[in-house]
Amino acid sequence: MDNDAPLTGTVEVDETYVGGKPRYKGNNKRGRGTSKTLVFASVERGGKIRRHVVADVTGKTLKAAIKELVDPASRIISDENSAYNGIGKDFKGGHETVCHSAKEYARGDVNTNTAESSFALVKRGIIGTYHNVSREYLYRYLWQFDFVWNSRKLNDGERTVLAVKSAEGKRMMYRAAE
């Protein structure tokens, strides 16, 4: 399983905000304007997923993430977020959207249901298993959720071997060496 290979075929892209409810009656906003952490996902239909913490939902940021992760021969599917406008010219398969604001969630095979359901798995996993995840280390939890998703077709033994091989030559450091 090559984690550096670009995503191919039909690729859904979407973003969400991850974080708990504020303990005070301050910023209770949903979506843009919230103090939660922004996570971007790109997922192949029937294939691999890549999720990343991103700084913002501007077209520059999201388009750069897509170009970095997705093969230029692919087809991009997103919601109607204007940040994705124009991305189709960079991909042979073009760009199609669903319009959630008009209560459109699927039109034939045009939908972002896989990406959206992957976010639900992350959020439920955090709430049910980890309970609280800091913004600083969220990317590490996303790696773990991506690994589980990307190895879902393997048996437990194969998944264990893959995890050990993936850790080879790596050392997790929480603070800089002195």
Domain ranges of the chain: 10-167
- For residue range 61-81, list pLDDT tens digits in order: 999 999 999 999 999 999 999
The stretch 32-58 carries a mean pLDDT of 90
Closest by Cα among 75, 97, 108, 100 to 7: 75
Closest by Cα among 65, 94, 59, 97 to 80: 97
- For residue range 8-31, list pLDDT tens digits in order: 999 999 999 998 665 555 555 555
Residue 112 CB neighbour total at 10 angstroms = 22
**22 or 59, which is more confident?**
59
Domain 10-167 belongs in CATH node 3.30.420.10: yes
